[in-house]
Structure 1
Amino acid sequence: MFKGSMVAIITPFRADGSVDEEAFRQLVEFQIENGTDVLVPCGTTGESATLSYEEHDQVIRACIEQARGRVPVVAGTGSNSTAEAIEISRHAKEMGADGLLLVSPYYNKPSQEGLYQHYKAIAEAVALPQILYNVPGRTGMNMQAATTIRLAEISNIVAIKEASGDVTQAGEILSKAGDKIDVLSGDDFLTLPLMAIGAKGVISVTANIMPKQVKAMVSAIEAGRWDEARALHLKMLDIHNAMFIESNPVPVKTAAALLGRCGDQVRLPLVSLQSASLEKLKQVMGRYELL
């Protein structure tokens, strides 16, 4: 349902810390103009953890309004509170979101049964296509393949963003439930390996600054042009890695600022990119002729 080159779009802030909606709308246009297939606001890269309820609604609404149906909008509405996730998800549906991205509950560290019941409750409460999001590095626990396979039986759970870094786990999901749930790469540097075994695309960080190139690689894979895809994958590895020289989204937002697309402000407890990391980022961006 949702496939191809998808962007986990950043949320720009003004100098006073408020959401810069004008810059955000310009970022949406930049993505659509460069071939991005799906917009994903209010994910990890969009600093969802420090957005208020009102700001969540503001960003999702702005994304939907600016996209004007040209590409789908999958709203990040996850929370470590099931009731809260349902509330935010209902708001996104009311505003016209095409789908939901739901991060696994963080901090609580639920059991696999707890994860199942969490996602089942949201699916039953909100009639929208839903993408599970497994990111152990952020949540403190891994959603096992068996749990994902079990959740695949729920009709409006349509995909999982796999950011566990475990290609074997993704392969198990595809082998046992690939006809019921799509796998999407949650790591730019694993897009090609995961798509090689059947994943349908990527929810990308790098696409914030290089949407055309990410789209080109995904399109090459989809068309079976493997030599071209492999060359693009290897060519982009350094920039993918540079997006994680410090905690996401600090490097990618800094990169977007260096390109003049928005400010580099992040919210505490995140801080601006440290000077040594900034120099490394500039060097890498220079090699890609971005600066």
Structure 2
Amino acid sequence: MDIRNLEGSIVALITPFHEDGSVDFDALGRLIDFQLAAGTDALLPLGTTGESSTMTHEEDEAVASFVVERVAGRVPVITGSGSNDTRTMLEKSLAYQRLGVDGLLLITPYYNKANEEGVYRHFATVLDAVDIPCILYNVPGRTGCSISVANVERLSRHDNVLGIKEASGSISYATDIAHLIGPTFKMFSGNDDMVVPLMSLGASGVISVWANVQPALVREMTHAYLAGDVERARRIQLSGLPLVRALFSEVNPIPVKEACALMGLCEPNFRLPLCRMGAAAREGLIASMKGAGLVD
């Protein structure tokens, strides 16, 4: 499936686990069906929200294969293949391409960070090897490093770059790279509280944690903006802020998986070092979900 014109709401899908820590594929199927029924524009498993950092390569491939088969071409599947080891990211990217994913999400080399040229080569190694579009992932709060504006400009010229997931939380940074947005380079907000602001700079939509629990609403917000109804998009963005803040009251994806469990979509099981959220934060999450009409 050609995703060069992708826009709207892309869900950063959680990975449900059984109590013993194994992947709960029955729940994963329910989550996928929930997203498809709500009209989500694309699914993105195995990202930060998918807890892929605690999963084995075999589990990653099993999840990617399951999502591709369950979706069956109805919407694009973009799979997170990132690693701080470039060789591992390359191997995972090629494996997912063979499984039939429509695109890849590539993260900066966290922990070891790398210098300017190393960061460029980290991405270019994969971009030169694959045949499907890739989204760069800038999330310095997670990785400890950012993709420099100069490297974004350099990488944006590669034929296999679709765009960037911009999750720095910095309007200044987003503004600095917004001039690159055009027919061959897209921006997607990586922050649920900044979707409309980034769309005002030219972003095509969002890769969203929030969409795990309110997929139809997040899609409505992005498509309202794309259709020119900025006021409708603005109202949804502002009205959703209490829930969005609750979904990030502890480190992602702890609150959003708790929220999905409260909605009966999965069990609230994690792999260490992630664990159940604290009582006070959970009460706040429940209150916000009640306010959004998600639970009684």
Q: 2:20 aligns with which of 16, 22, 26?
A: 16
Q: Report if the CA contact (8 A) 2:135-2:165 is conserved.
A: yes
- The reply to whether residue 135 of structure 1 matches residue 130 of structure 2 is no
Counterpart-to-counterpart distance in 2, 1:145 and 1:59: 33
Over the aligned positions, Cα root-mean-square deviation in angstroms equals 0.9
Count of aligned pairs: 291
In structure 2, the partner of 1:84 is: 88
Amino acid corresponding to residue 141 of structure 2 in structure 1: G
- The reply to whether residue 261 of structure 1 matches residue 269 of structure 2 is no
In structure 2, the partner of 1:43 is: 47
Amino acid corresponding to residue 150 of structure 2 in structure 1: A
In structure 2, the partner of 1:125 is: 129
Q: Report if the CA contact (8 A) 2:79-2:105 is conserved.
A: yes
Greater than 4 Å deviation, 4+ residue runs: none
Please report how far the alpha carbon of residue 180 of structure 1 lies from its aligned counterpart in structure 2 after TM superposition. 3.5
Task: Kindly provide the CA deviation profile for residues 196-222 of structure 1, in whole angstroms up to 9, marking residues without a partner as x.
Answer: 110011000000000011011011100
In structure 2, the partner of 1:106 is: 110
Amino acid corresponding to residue 55 of structure 2 in structure 1: L
TM-score (norm 1): 0.98
Amino acid corresponding to residue 278 of structure 1 in structure 2: R
Counterpart-to-counterpart distance in 1, 2:286 and 2:112: 38
Amino acid corresponding to residue 50 of structure 1 in structure 2: T
- Larger mean CA deviation between 243-252 and 179-188 belongs to 179-188
- The reply to whether residue 201 of structure 1 matches residue 205 of structure 2 is yes
In structure 2, the partner of 1:157 is: 161
Q: Report if the CA contact (8 A) 1:144-1:169 is conserved.
A: no
In structure 2, the partner of 1:166 is: 170
In structure 2, the partner of 1:235 is: 239
- Determine what percentage of the aligned residue pairs are the same residue: 46
Counterpart-to-counterpart distance in 2, 1:177 and 1:159: 8
Counterpart-to-counterpart distance in 1, 2:244 and 2:211: 10
Amino acid corresponding to residue 123 of structure 1 in structure 2: L
Counterpart-to-counterpart distance in 1, 2:7 and 2:224: 14
The alpha-carbon distance between structure 1 residues 203 and 177, as it changes in their structure 2 partners (threshold 3 A), is closer
In structure 2, the partner of 1:72 is: 76
Counterpart-to-counterpart distance in 2, 1:112 and 1:5: 31
In structure 1, the partner of 2:100 is: 96
TM-score (norm 2): 0.96
Counterpart-to-counterpart distance in 1, 2:116 and 2:138: 12
In structure 2, the partner of 1:288 is: 292
Amino acid corresponding to residue 238 of structure 2 in structure 1: L
The alpha-carbon distance between structure 1 residues 177 and 223, as it changes in their structure 2 partners (threshold 3 A), is closer
Unaligned runs of at least 5 residues, structure 1? none
Counterpart-to-counterpart distance in 1, 2:30 and 2:147: 35
Counterpart-to-counterpart distance in 2, 1:166 and 1:110: 22
Counterpart-to-counterpart distance in 2, 1:129 and 1:160: 11
Q: Report if the CA contact (8 A) 1:152-1:177 is conserved.
A: no
Q: Report if the CA contact (8 A) 1:37-1:72 is conserved.
A: yes
Please report how far the alpha carbon of residue 178 of structure 1 lies from its aligned counterpart in structure 2 after TM superposition. 3.6
In structure 2, the partner of 1:62 is: 66
Please report how far the alpha carbon of residue 179 of structure 1 lies from its aligned counterpart in structure 2 after TM superposition. 4.5
Q: Report if the CA contact (8 A) 1:174-1:182 is conserved.
A: no
In structure 1, the partner of 2:149 is: 145
In structure 2, the partner of 1:218 is: 222
Unaligned runs of at least 5 residues, structure 2? none
Q: Report if the CA contact (8 A) 1:40-1:75 is conserved.
A: yes
Counterpart-to-counterpart distance in 2, 1:201 and 1:230: 13
Report SS of the residue matched to 1:159. Answer: strand
Q: Report if the CA contact (8 A) 2:16-2:267 is conserved.
A: yes
In structure 1, the partner of 2:252 is: 248
